[in-house]
Protein backbone atom coordinates (compact mmCIF):
# COMPACT_ATOMS: atom_id res chain seq x y z
CA UNK A 1 0.00 0.00 0.00
CA UNK A 2 1.20 3.50 -0.80
CA UNK A 3 2.52 5.41 2.22
CA UNK A 4 1.26 8.95 2.84
CA UNK A 5 3.50 11.38 4.71
CA UNK A 6 1.27 12.75 7.46
CA UNK A 7 3.95 14.89 9.12
CA UNK A 8 2.38 18.23 9.91
CA UNK A 9 -1.19 16.93 9.86
CA UNK A 10 -2.97 17.49 13.19
CA UNK A 11 -5.26 14.98 14.86
CA UNK A 12 -8.34 17.14 14.31
CA UNK A 13 -7.78 17.15 10.55
CA UNK A 14 -7.43 13.37 10.56
CA UNK A 15 -10.58 13.06 12.69
CA UNK A 16 -12.51 15.14 10.15
CA UNK A 17 -11.07 13.11 7.27
CA UNK A 18 -12.10 9.83 8.94
CA UNK A 19 -15.64 11.09 9.58
CA UNK A 20 -16.13 12.15 5.95
CA UNK A 21 -14.77 8.83 4.72
CA UNK A 22 -16.99 6.83 7.10
CA UNK A 23 -20.12 8.85 6.38
CA UNK A 24 -19.59 8.99 2.62
CA UNK A 25 -19.99 12.74 2.29
CA UNK A 26 -19.15 16.20 3.61
CA UNK A 27 -22.67 16.86 4.88
CA UNK A 28 -23.03 13.49 6.59
CA UNK A 29 -19.53 13.81 8.07
CA UNK A 30 -20.39 17.25 9.44
CA UNK A 31 -23.53 15.86 11.08
CA UNK A 32 -21.50 13.04 12.59
CA UNK A 33 -19.02 15.49 14.10
CA UNK A 34 -21.52 18.19 15.05
CA UNK A 35 -19.68 20.75 12.89
CA UNK A 36 -20.78 22.99 10.05
CA UNK A 37 -20.50 21.70 6.49
CA UNK A 38 -18.26 24.67 5.63
CA UNK A 39 -15.87 23.91 8.50
CA UNK A 40 -15.54 20.25 7.47
CA UNK A 41 -15.01 21.18 3.81
CA UNK A 42 -12.25 23.61 4.79
CA UNK A 43 -10.51 21.02 6.99
CA UNK A 44 -10.55 18.46 4.18
CA UNK A 45 -9.19 20.98 1.67
CA UNK A 46 -6.41 22.02 4.06
CA UNK A 47 -5.40 18.41 4.62
CA UNK A 48 -5.33 17.74 0.87
CA UNK A 49 -3.23 20.87 0.33
CA UNK A 50 -0.83 19.84 3.09
CA UNK A 51 -0.38 16.34 1.69
CA UNK A 52 -0.39 17.43 -1.94
CA UNK A 53 -2.91 14.78 -3.00
CA UNK A 54 -6.66 14.48 -3.54
CA UNK A 55 -8.17 12.32 -0.82
CA UNK A 56 -11.72 12.18 -2.20
CA UNK A 57 -13.33 11.98 -5.61
CA UNK A 58 -16.46 14.11 -5.50
CA UNK A 59 -19.77 13.61 -7.29
CA UNK A 60 -23.10 15.38 -6.90
CA UNK A 61 -24.34 12.70 -4.48
CA UNK A 62 -21.37 11.56 -2.40
CA UNK A 63 -17.63 11.48 -2.05
CA UNK A 64 -15.45 8.39 -2.32
CA UNK A 65 -11.87 7.77 -1.26
CA UNK A 66 -9.21 8.02 -3.95
CA UNK A 67 -6.29 5.60 -3.89
CA UNK A 68 -4.36 8.12 -1.82
CA UNK A 69 -7.34 8.54 0.48
CA UNK A 70 -7.60 4.78 0.99
CA UNK A 71 -3.89 4.63 1.78
CA UNK A 72 -4.25 7.41 4.35
CA UNK A 73 -7.33 5.79 5.86
CA UNK A 74 -5.56 2.46 6.33
CA UNK A 75 -2.42 4.11 7.69
CA UNK A 76 -3.79 6.81 9.99
CA UNK A 77 -7.31 5.93 11.08
CA UNK A 78 -6.64 2.71 13.11
CA UNK A 79 -4.08 4.36 15.42
CA UNK A 80 -6.31 7.45 15.66
CA UNK A 81 -9.15 5.28 16.92
CA UNK A 82 -6.83 3.48 19.33
CA UNK A 83 -5.88 6.88 20.75
CA UNK A 84 -9.55 7.79 21.10
CA UNK A 85 -10.17 4.51 22.94
CA UNK A 86 -7.25 5.20 25.30
CA UNK A 87 -8.53 8.69 26.06
CA UNK A 88 -12.00 7.32 26.73
CA UNK A 89 -10.62 4.75 29.17
CA UNK A 90 -8.55 7.40 30.95
CA UNK A 91 -11.59 9.67 31.20
CA UNK A 92 -13.73 6.88 32.63
CA UNK A 93 -11.09 5.75 35.11
CA UNK A 94 -10.50 2.21 36.40
CA UNK A 95 -9.72 1.10 32.86
CA UNK A 96 -13.39 0.99 31.80
CA UNK A 97 -14.04 2.70 28.48
CA UNK A 98 -16.92 5.05 27.83
CA UNK A 99 -17.87 4.11 24.29
CA UNK A 100 -18.29 7.09 21.98
CA UNK A 101 -18.32 7.82 18.27
CA UNK A 102 -20.21 5.64 15.82
CA UNK A 103 -20.33 1.84 15.59
CA UNK A 104 -21.28 0.62 12.11
CA UNK A 105 -22.70 -2.90 12.06
CA UNK A 106 -23.65 -4.88 8.96
CA UNK A 107 -25.86 -7.98 8.71
CA UNK A 108 -28.29 -9.62 6.35
CA UNK A 109 -31.79 -8.17 6.29
CA UNK A 110 -33.36 -11.25 7.85
CA UNK A 111 -30.76 -11.73 10.58
CA UNK A 112 -30.91 -8.04 11.47
CA UNK A 113 -34.68 -8.25 11.92
CA UNK A 114 -34.93 -11.70 13.50
CA UNK A 115 -31.99 -11.74 15.92
CA UNK A 116 -29.66 -8.75 15.79
CA UNK A 117 -31.94 -5.73 16.29
CA UNK A 118 -33.02 -6.57 19.88
CA UNK A 119 -29.38 -7.12 20.88
CA UNK A 120 -28.32 -3.84 19.25
CA UNK A 121 -31.12 -2.05 21.14
CA UNK A 122 -29.93 -3.49 24.46
CA UNK A 123 -26.30 -2.60 23.69
CA UNK A 124 -27.30 0.96 22.77
CA UNK A 125 -29.15 1.33 26.06
CA UNK A 126 -25.99 0.40 27.97
CA UNK A 127 -23.83 2.88 26.02
CA UNK A 128 -25.80 6.14 25.65
CA UNK A 129 -22.84 8.11 24.25
CA UNK A 130 -22.34 5.71 21.35
CA UNK A 131 -24.11 6.17 18.02
CA UNK A 132 -24.98 2.93 16.20
CA UNK A 133 -25.54 2.60 12.47
CA UNK A 134 -27.13 -0.79 11.69
CA UNK A 135 -26.93 -1.55 7.98
CA UNK A 136 -28.83 -4.52 6.58
CA UNK A 137 -28.19 -5.95 3.15
CA UNK A 138 -28.27 -9.40 1.60
CA UNK A 139 -25.21 -8.71 -0.53
CA UNK A 140 -21.74 -9.33 0.92
CA UNK A 141 -20.51 -5.83 1.67
CA UNK A 142 -16.90 -4.67 1.37
CA UNK A 143 -16.40 -3.75 5.01
CA UNK A 144 -13.20 -1.79 4.37
CA UNK A 145 -14.57 0.23 1.47
CA UNK A 146 -17.90 0.94 3.18
CA UNK A 147 -16.42 1.77 6.58
CA UNK A 148 -18.11 -1.09 8.45
CA UNK A 149 -16.69 -1.71 11.92
CA UNK A 150 -18.12 -5.21 12.32
CA UNK A 151 -20.21 -7.45 10.06
CA UNK A 152 -22.29 -10.32 11.39
CA UNK A 153 -22.08 -13.13 8.87
CA UNK A 154 -23.72 -16.50 9.00
CA UNK A 155 -22.59 -19.72 7.39
CA UNK A 156 -19.15 -20.53 6.08
CA UNK A 157 -16.61 -17.75 5.56
CA UNK A 158 -14.81 -17.49 2.23
CA UNK A 159 -12.69 -14.32 2.46
CA UNK A 160 -9.49 -15.33 4.28
CA UNK A 161 -8.15 -11.75 4.28
CA UNK A 162 -10.65 -10.68 6.95
CA UNK A 163 -10.49 -11.31 10.67
CA UNK A 164 -13.35 -13.17 12.30
CA UNK A 165 -14.55 -14.25 15.73
CA UNK A 166 -16.96 -17.18 15.90
CA UNK A 167 -19.83 -16.15 18.16
CA UNK A 168 -21.94 -19.28 17.96
CA UNK A 169 -23.58 -21.63 15.51
CA UNK A 170 -26.99 -22.47 14.11
CA UNK A 171 -28.93 -25.42 12.75
CA UNK A 172 -30.40 -25.66 9.26
CA UNK A 173 -34.03 -26.75 9.09
CA UNK A 174 -35.83 -28.36 6.17
CA UNK A 175 -39.28 -26.73 5.95
CA UNK A 176 -42.44 -26.38 3.86
CA UNK A 177 -45.90 -24.85 4.31
CA UNK A 178 -48.81 -26.99 5.60
CA UNK A 179 -50.82 -26.21 2.48
CA UNK A 180 -48.00 -27.37 0.23
CA UNK A 181 -47.70 -30.65 2.14
CA UNK A 182 -51.44 -31.30 1.94
CA UNK A 183 -51.30 -30.89 -1.84
CA UNK A 184 -47.98 -32.61 -2.63
CA UNK A 185 -47.44 -34.99 0.30
CA UNK A 186 -44.81 -35.07 3.01
CA UNK A 187 -41.35 -36.44 2.18
CA UNK A 188 -40.48 -39.46 4.33
CA UNK A 189 -36.76 -39.67 3.58
CA UNK A 190 -34.10 -37.38 2.06
CA UNK A 191 -34.28 -39.08 -1.35
CA UNK A 192 -37.95 -38.03 -1.66
CA UNK A 193 -36.87 -34.38 -1.83
CA UNK A 194 -35.60 -34.78 -5.39
CA UNK A 195 -39.25 -35.16 -6.46
CA UNK A 196 -40.34 -31.88 -4.84
CA UNK A 197 -39.88 -28.35 -6.24
CA UNK A 198 -36.93 -26.81 -4.42
CA UNK A 199 -36.52 -23.13 -3.57
CA UNK A 200 -32.80 -22.44 -4.03
CA UNK A 201 -31.03 -19.81 -1.96
CA UNK A 202 -28.51 -18.52 -4.49
CA UNK A 203 -26.19 -16.96 -1.90
CA UNK A 204 -25.18 -20.47 -0.72
CA UNK A 205 -22.10 -22.13 -2.28
CA UNK A 206 -24.06 -25.28 -3.32
CA UNK A 207 -27.77 -24.37 -3.20
CA UNK A 208 -28.97 -27.58 -4.89
CA UNK A 209 -26.79 -30.25 -3.25
CA UNK A 210 -27.50 -31.17 0.37
CA UNK A 211 -25.88 -33.71 2.68
CA UNK A 212 -27.99 -35.29 5.41
CA UNK A 213 -26.86 -37.27 8.46
CA UNK A 214 -29.49 -39.55 9.97
CA UNK A 215 -30.02 -42.29 12.53
CA UNK A 216 -27.03 -44.57 13.12
CA UNK A 217 -24.89 -41.97 11.31
CA UNK A 218 -26.40 -42.76 7.91
CA UNK A 219 -25.27 -40.36 5.17
CA UNK A 220 -27.40 -39.18 2.24
CA UNK A 221 -26.53 -36.65 -0.47
CA UNK A 222 -29.47 -35.37 -2.50
CA UNK A 223 -29.44 -33.23 -5.65
CA UNK A 224 -32.54 -31.03 -5.74
CA UNK A 225 -34.56 -29.76 -8.69
CA UNK A 226 -35.31 -26.05 -8.73
CA UNK A 227 -37.16 -23.53 -10.86
CA UNK A 228 -37.25 -20.86 -8.16
CA UNK A 229 -34.18 -19.06 -6.86
CA UNK A 230 -33.84 -16.11 -4.49
CA UNK A 231 -31.00 -14.28 -2.79
CA UNK A 232 -32.20 -13.86 0.80
CA UNK A 233 -33.60 -15.95 3.62
CA UNK A 234 -36.53 -13.54 3.96
CA UNK A 235 -37.52 -14.05 0.33
CA UNK A 236 -37.12 -17.83 0.65
CA UNK A 237 -39.34 -17.86 3.74
CA UNK A 238 -42.02 -15.84 1.94
CA UNK A 239 -41.96 -18.24 -1.02
CA UNK A 240 -42.16 -21.21 1.31
CA UNK A 241 -45.12 -19.77 3.19
CA UNK A 242 -46.85 -19.17 -0.16
CA UNK A 243 -46.61 -22.89 -0.85
CA UNK A 244 -44.07 -22.65 -3.66
CA UNK A 245 -42.00 -25.65 -2.59
CA UNK A 246 -39.53 -27.01 -0.06
CA UNK A 247 -36.24 -25.53 1.15
CA UNK A 248 -33.81 -25.07 4.02
CA UNK A 249 -33.72 -22.07 6.34
CA UNK A 250 -31.32 -21.29 9.16
CA UNK A 251 -32.85 -21.82 12.59
CA UNK A 252 -33.09 -18.06 13.25
CA UNK A 253 -35.11 -17.50 10.08
CA UNK A 254 -37.30 -20.60 10.49
CA UNK A 255 -38.10 -20.68 14.21
CA UNK A 256 -40.86 -18.09 14.41
CA UNK A 257 -42.69 -19.36 11.30
CA UNK A 258 -42.50 -22.93 12.62
CA UNK A 259 -43.78 -21.86 16.05
CA UNK A 260 -46.68 -19.99 14.43
CA UNK A 261 -47.59 -22.95 12.23
CA UNK A 262 -46.84 -21.10 8.98
CA UNK A 263 -44.11 -23.65 8.21
CA UNK A 264 -43.55 -27.29 9.19
CA UNK A 265 -40.14 -28.74 9.92
CA UNK A 266 -39.53 -31.87 7.84
CA UNK A 267 -37.37 -34.93 8.50
CA UNK A 268 -36.20 -33.73 11.94
CA UNK A 269 -34.37 -37.02 12.48
CA UNK A 270 -32.05 -36.11 9.58
CA UNK A 271 -29.52 -33.38 10.34
CA UNK A 272 -27.90 -30.88 7.98
CA UNK A 273 -24.44 -29.35 8.60
CA UNK A 274 -24.41 -26.63 11.24
CA UNK A 275 -23.27 -23.16 10.26
CA UNK A 276 -21.40 -20.52 12.19
CA UNK A 277 -22.34 -17.02 13.34
CA UNK A 278 -19.24 -14.84 12.89
CA UNK A 279 -18.25 -11.29 13.72
CA UNK A 280 -16.06 -10.15 10.84
CA UNK A 281 -13.87 -7.06 10.79
CA UNK A 282 -11.09 -5.59 8.72
CA UNK A 283 -7.53 -6.94 8.96
CA UNK A 284 -5.03 -5.17 11.17
CA UNK A 285 -3.49 -5.36 14.59
CA UNK A 286 -6.04 -3.25 16.45
CA UNK A 287 -9.67 -3.90 17.25
CA UNK A 288 -11.44 -0.85 18.61
CA UNK A 289 -12.92 -0.93 22.11
CA UNK A 290 -16.47 -0.40 20.81
CA UNK A 291 -16.08 -3.39 18.45
CA UNK A 292 -14.65 -5.63 21.18
CA UNK A 293 -17.44 -4.61 23.54
CA UNK A 294 -20.18 -5.32 21.00
CA UNK A 295 -18.71 -8.69 20.00
CA UNK A 296 -18.55 -9.79 23.65
CA UNK A 297 -22.07 -8.51 24.29
CA UNK A 298 -23.51 -10.29 21.26
CA UNK A 299 -21.69 -13.56 21.97
CA UNK A 300 -23.04 -13.67 25.54
CA UNK A 301 -26.62 -13.28 24.32
CA UNK A 302 -26.24 -15.89 21.61
CA UNK A 303 -25.04 -18.37 24.22
CA UNK A 304 -27.87 -17.52 26.64
CA UNK A 305 -30.50 -17.91 23.90
CA UNK A 306 -29.10 -21.21 22.55
Say which residue, 142 or 245, is predicted with more confidence.
245
Q: What is the pTM of this model?
A: 0.64
* Residue 164 resides in a domain: no
* Residue 32 resides in a domain: yes
Same domain, 220 and 251: yes
| Per-residue pLDDT at 43 exceeds 80 | yes
Per residue in 67-110, pLDDT (tens digit) is 898 888 888 877 777 776 666 656 555 445 678 888 999 998 88
* Residue 108 resides in a domain: yes
CATH number at residue 210: 3.40.190.290
Per residue in 105-135, pLDDT (tens digit) is 999 888 888 889 999 999 999 999 899 999 9
pLDDT of residue 124: 95
Say which residue, 14 or 145, is predicted with more confidence.
14
| Per-residue pLDDT at 30 exceeds 80 | yes
Same domain, 112 and 148: yes
Number of domains, the chain: 3
Q: Give the 3-state secondary structure of the chain.
A: CCCCCCCCCCHHHHHHHHHHHHHCCHHHHHHHHCCCHHHHHHHHHHHHHHHCCCCEEECCCCEEECHHHHHHHHHHHHHHHHHHHHHHHHHHCCCCCCCCEEEEEEECHHHHHHHHHHHHHHHHHHCCCEEEEEEECCCCCCCCCCCCCEEEEEECCCCCCCEEEEEEEECEEEEECHHHHHHHCCCCCHHHHHHCEEEEECCCCCCCEEEEECHHHCEEEEECEEEEEECCHHHHHHHHHCCCCEEEEEHHHHHHHHHHCCCEECCCCCECCCEEEEEEECCCCCCCHHHHHHHHHHHHHHHHHC
* Residue 195 resides in a domain: yes
Same domain, 130 and 85: no
Domain limit, last residue, from 72, 93, 114: 93
* Residue 163 resides in a domain: no
* Residue 167 resides in a domain: no
* Residue 165 resides in a domain: no
Same domain, 219 and 306: no
Q: What percent of the chain has pLDDT over 70?
A: 87
pLDDT of residue 209: 96
Q: What is the mean pLDDT of residues 36-48?
A: 90
Q: What is the mean pLDDT of residues 21-38?
A: 82
Q: Which domain holds residue 43?
A: 1-93
Amino acid sequence: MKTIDTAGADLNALRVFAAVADAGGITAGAELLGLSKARVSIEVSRLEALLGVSLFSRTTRRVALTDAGQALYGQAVPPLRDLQDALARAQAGQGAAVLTGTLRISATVDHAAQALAPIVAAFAAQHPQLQIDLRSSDRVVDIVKEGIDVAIRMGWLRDSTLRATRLGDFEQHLVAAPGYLRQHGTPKKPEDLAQHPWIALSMLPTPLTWKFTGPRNQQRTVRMNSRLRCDSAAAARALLQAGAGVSVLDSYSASRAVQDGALVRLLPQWQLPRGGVHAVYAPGRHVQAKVRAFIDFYAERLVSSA
